[in-house]
Structure formats: C-alpha cells, structure tokens
Chain A
C-alpha cells in the first residue's frame, strides 16, 4: 500500500486565491512527521512546512499552512493568496519514527497559478 497518496495530479488556481493540495498518509507508527516540498521548474527541492504527529496545533509558515487531521490521516497544504511564483510541483512526504529516518514521498501535485 502507498504510504503517501496525493490524488490531484494537477490543480489550477487564480492569482490571489487560496488553494488546498491534498495528502493522505498511511502508517501504524504513532511517531511520524509530515513534510511538504516545492519543486519549481528549475528542479530544486524547497522545504515548505513540517507537522509532527504529536503537534497540537496546525503548522503555519507565512502563506503556507498545514491542515492536519490525524484521525483521517490527512495533511493537506493550504497556500493562501496564491502568486504566479507558486506554480510548481508540490510533494508531500512522511518520516516514520523518531530520528532521521528517510522520507517517503508522494507522486506530487502540479499547481498552476493563473493571472
């Protein structure tokens, strides 16, 4: 079974609007971390936001927030006030256990921001 599922291959959003990118995960480990990375057309991987399984509050980083619903095993990324520069691939990833175990990535969602 896939550990990270991103069901939206592509999304469009109007500039200045908010957009939600979906991510569901599968783990039996009570300790885990969830990450979102952005990959622009230039190819580099840019870390956006992190949510730990024991974190009481949803993570926020500037215009990025994570809608963490533990019982549903979902960790959706919300981008507010979309900008043209937000057009990119977005990857959800999970680390199981404590410490620096390797990340498992989803297949990604391509976001296109329209002017």
Chain B
C-alpha cells in the first residue's frame, strides 16, 4: 500500500492564482481530512469527509473548497490565493469504526508559498 499520497510536494503561487492540492489514499478509508500547519504551530482542520459525497467544514475553511467524488480521492481547492494561505497542507485518512481508537494516517504534506 502506498498509504496517503499528496501532490505536489512544493508549490509557489502568485496572489490571486488558484490551484488544487491532490490527495489519494489506497487503504479504503471512509474518513479523510485536510489540515494546515503554519510555522511553529499545530495542525488546524480545514475540511473533512466521512465518505464519498459528504464533506464538512473544519476550523479554518475560508478560502478553500473540497469535493469527494470517490472513496480514494479528496482534493483541496484554493481559489484566489492569499499570502495568509502560505502553509504546509496535510491530508489524512482513517477507518470509520465507532471506537474512536483509529489513528489518522497522514500524507507527506504539500508546502505552499503564496507571494
């Protein structure tokens, strides 16, 4: 299994440009998440999905959009990039068991700079 993969690894955007961060998992996980990590800080939840066709906002959703058309893929769309979106973006996934025990598996991250 490749686990959770993210592309690209690095990207520089100009203010006002748009882009899509790709995330794919091959573990048949129902739950997927997008986090951002600002320098020296913990991770903050942007959006998450409990299954194909279902998404919900997290703590910091403004400026982002997501879609979940398949179990495997959970792309994150940035519209009109702003310098405040300079961050490292992590995608994660987990099983859907109800015990709450299941850890999230993280992708390697995408380092985005908006100038």
Q: Give me the interface of A with B, judged by CB distance under 8 Å.
A: 4, 31-33, 35, 37, 43-45, 47, 50, 52, 91, 93, 95, 97-108
Contacts and interface: CB of A to CB of B under 8 A. Distances in A.
Contact of A91 (B31, B42, B92): B42
Interface in B89-107: 90, 92, 94-106
B110 to A, nearest CB: 10
B48 A45 contact: no
Given A37-B106, A45-B43, A93-B42, 10 more contacts: A43-B88, A43-B109, A44-B108, A45-B90, A45-B92, A50-B101, A95-B100, A103-B45, A103-B104, A105-B43
Contacts of A103: 33, 43, 45, 104
28 contacts: A31-B100, A44-B106, A44-B109, A45-B43, A45-B90, A45-B92, A47-B103, A47-B104, A52-B101, A91-B43, A98-B98, A98-B100, A99-B97, A100-B30, A100-B50, A100-B94, A100-B97, A100-B102, A101-B100, A102-B33, A102-B58, A103-B45, A105-B35, A105-B42, A105-B43, A105-B44, A107-B41, A108-B42
Contact of A50 (B42, B45, B96, B103): B103
Interface residues of B, number: 32
Contacts of A47: 103-105
A18 to B, nearest CB: 24
Contacts of B58: 102
Contacts of A106: 42
A33 B94 CA distance: 14
B7 to A, nearest CB: 15
Contacts of B92: 45
